Amino acid sequence: MRLFAAILFSDEVRQTLVLAIDLLKQQVRHGRFTCPENLHVTLAFIGETTRITEAKEALRTAVNLHPGSFPLRLRASGRFNDTIWAGIADSPELSVLAQDIQDELRKQGFFVERRAFRPHITLARRVNCKQIQLPIPAREINVTFVSLVKSEYIDHHLRYTEIYRVNL
């Protein structure tokens, strides 16, 4: 299955992001908007694998290196080409957590790309608009767990399912 490690959100945080997506929908003609249950921050992309036990072990080991839950703050929106995202304010805890998860996955033999970690929450892809005005409330998120998430296409829709969770 196709897997990634991520931070998932409470209904309240998702609601804030859904309001931003609604605002975005008013400004663009086309786009593939992230559905509320799929909103997340990717910490490490694992890709196609059958080695689920090892992926869980890597997540557990990395999380055990950390002192506990920590706050994140939503930040202004931005874009990579035609992808629109909500930003995350700089967080040493988040960067170290993502790095440790990636390192533990590598120790377990997974290939994880060494690209710079730029935490974001994808709100929409394939958006055809030059300028967007998308304020994001600077709300705080308390991160209390990390998830292993399965990604699949069902009836042409992207579905993410949490298959494992480790509390911080």
User: Which of residues 63 and 112 has its CB atom nearest to ligand 2AM in the complex?
Assistant: 112
Coil, strand or helix at 24:
helix
Shortest distance (Å) from residue 70 CB to ligand 2AM: 20
User: Which of residues 64 and 112 has its CB atom nearest to ligand 2AM in the complex?
Assistant: 112
Q: Which residues contact 115 (CB under 8 A, 6 or more apart)?
A: none
| Catalytic residue check, 156 | no
Shortest distance (Å) from residue 67 CB to ligand 2AM: 25
Note whether 86 and 120 are within 8 A (CB): yes
Among 94, 122, 127, 136, contact with ligand 2AM (rule: CB under 6 A): 122
Distance CA 89, CA 72 (A): 7
30, 66, 120, 156: which is the annotated catalytic residue? 120
| Catalytic residue check, 120 | yes
Shortest distance (Å) from residue 45 CB to ligand 2AM: 3
Shortest distance (Å) from residue 142 CB to ligand 2AM: 21
Counting contacts by CB under 6 A, is residue 151 touching ligand 2AM? yes
Structure tokens at 124: 């929409």
Number of DSSP helices (H) and strands (E) in the chain, helices first: 3, 9
Coil, strand or helix at 14:
helix
> What string marks each residue from 81 to 120 as x (binds ligand 2AM by CB under 6 A) or -?
--------------------------------x-------
> How would you classify residue 15: left for phi > 0, otherwise alpha for psi between -120 and 50, otherwise beta?
alpha
Catalytic residues: 40, 120
